[in-house]
Structure 1
Amino acid sequence: MSYASLRGPVSPKPVKERTGRVGRPSKPKPPLPLGNPKRRGRPPKAPSPLPWQVYRSLPTSFTAFLCEWSGCKAELHNLDTLRRHVSVVHCRKASLICCWGKCAQSSQTSAPYQFPNVPSLRAHIEKKHLIPFSWHTGDGPRNYGAPNQRLKDEEIPDYLKDDQGNQVTPSIRDQEVEDFATWKHNRQKLKDLLVQLNDNLPSEESDSPIDED
């Protein structure tokens, strides 16, 4: 006798009808704006700035070269200008006494030393004051203009020529500066060409010799 016959008839359970969830009434959509529809997605990136634009946007800070001559408040932009200032303004005086920094302080306590001529005074200032001054501040920016002058076509440097005087190495004088966006585009273009080159290579099956019966 089976277990189901021992239990007897089983009354069926009432089946409940499933009712769907009553959702909230949907809100009416707002009317579309007039004019051109708004583009979806991220806005296009702005072109990357050129190197000279980045350089000019950097905060500039220049060291002022202060003249330490007693009573002088001159501020120069590099060491050469400071040297010419001291030579022209201070060394041409008839006293021929060094009034720079510590020399001016020592002359207040003792008798100042008078140099015999202007060259000896300039040599003293250069050795005792300007050279130690440059150890801390450097030479400063130079504005001679020689590095910024463009060479003419006939003034090609000799290291770009061979023994016969013919130009063999191209010059980068007229080369255009490539911004980041153009570099990225050219890099992707090179990748696509390499992938295309790899796809066009003959397969190993075509290179294998065919066995003839």
Structure 2
Amino acid sequence: MTKIQFFQSYHVGSEIKLTEQHQLQLVSCFEKPGENPDGILSGRAAVSTIQLKDIGPAIVKNYTRGGVIRNFNRNTYLKFSRYRCQSEYELLLFLDRLGVSVPQPIAFAYRGRFFYHAWLVTEEIQNVCTLAEFSKQNPDETRTVMQDLARQLDILVENHIHHVDLHPGNVLVDNEKNLFIIDFDKARTTPQNRHKLQKKYIRRWRRAVLKYKLPAVLNNIFNNRK
């Protein structure tokens, strides 16, 4: 069960029992600017790395805005229903139970009530690159990785989960050719049927492949699609 604790003006939630030392480490990380990842389709989120005692290496994502609004408001959100960090944290827990390969969620945090800043803490996956980068370096092995991606996308579709910004930069591949899907902060459930949801995934994915001139092997994200 997720427990939310109040610590130094931050609300920190987790299913893991976080000690005062953990919370001190996290708050220290929250108060430092994160770094934007480099690489193709690496995203806009500012992230930091941290070594949590008795837990291990972790990634701290600071939620930041995109588009034109980013020029005026970089990382403050207005609360309409749930905090974005809490929604993504709980979705990652659910996806892990379904068998989708996602980074293990550790905690989420927010500061403020109606106008708030937010953070998500997940395990750090060692020795990874994005699928976009992997496909350029290992075109033959990419076919095998794509089969695993198709299997995991089938799980998302069967459970009516729409990752609205899924592209090859939001899929990580480690040294063992294991893949992990990331950045579910805009994901949502949808009543749409399987066919319509598949089409949405394919349209967004192929737009990125075409725009960034990625290898054609990336186009086939569902086993039954050409």
Give the TM-score of the pair, scaled to structure 1. Answer: 0.18
Higher strand share: 2
Mark the structure with the bigger radius of gyration. Answer: 1
Give the TM-score of the pair, scaled to structure 2. Answer: 0.17
